[in-house]
Amino acid sequence: MSAETWFASPAIPEREGLVAAAFARAWARTYTRGLAGEARVERLAELDSDLFEHERNGRRAGQSAVTLSFEILWRVVLGMPADVSWRLEAAQPGTALRTLAAAVSARSAATALWTVRRGMPGVTWVLAGGYVLVGIVLLLTLPLAGDKPPGERAWGGVMLLVAGLLIAGGFWLAKRRGKTAVALALAGSVPFGLAFSATIVVPAASVVALVCVVVKARSTTG
């Protein structure tokens, strides 16, 4: 019997899951990819159980889907650094990932400092700036839209512009109003991150931007 079969729970009926829970599972599948043995299956099964209990208890307590989604996303995003660190530790000796982990570990302090001070804010500004820039270009080129309905193009432009401003606003506010900043960053980064999930780059940049704002907000509020 395979590990996957052993952990499967066939008696569980199909349930309407939250998108946030699906995101949590997708993230877990991503960072556990290539993991040898039962470690991957066990981590996925354990997370699945946690998400199920979280959702079920929340619904029983009368929590709305929005509140539950926010809580789950919060837990996923804040746990990402630990997930990545756990994954690097779990990598098999001799693999590229383990070599990378060793290299990163050797320069961990400098790497972490650079990532927090330069890398993450850089990606956040590039993402926000990119959204704003593309939004402005879309709006300015409305008269040249040709046979496409301009309404669709205008909506896209406005949404990108707003998303960029929300992310930038979140980053700017992070040190003063942590919760507002995280809410703005979530609103700005998640929709397009999900909409362009196939591009890999946009969702990855969205996650980095979100983590960056959360880290900045937490470093201030403690």
Binding site for other proteins (CB under 8 A): 7, 9-13, 24, 28, 42-43, 45-50, 52-54, 56-57, 71, 74-86, 109
- Smallest distance, Å, CB 78 to other proteins? 4
Q: Which two tokens stand for residue 215?
A: 């880290």
Q: How far is the CB of 80 from other proteins (least distance, A)?
A: 6
Whose tokens are 């300015």? That residue is 140
Distance of closest approach, residue 28 Cβ to other proteins, in angstroms: 8
Rounded (5°) CA angle 112-76-206: 65
Our CB check for other proteins shows the closer of 46 and 152 to be: 46
Q: How far apart are CA 154 and CA 158, in angstroms?
A: 6
DSSP of 55-104: HHHHHHTT--HHHHHHHHHHHHHHHHHHHHHHHHHHSPTTSHHHHHHHHH
| Cβ atoms of 150 and 114 closer than 8 Å | no
Q: Give least dist CB 50 to other proteins, A.
A: 5
- State which residue, 58 or 164, has the beta carbon closest to other proteins: 58
| Residue nearer to other proteins on the CB measure, 57 or 199 | 57
State CA 191 to chain mean position distance: 11
Q: Return the number of the residue (57 or 141) whose C-beta is nearest other proteins.
A: 57
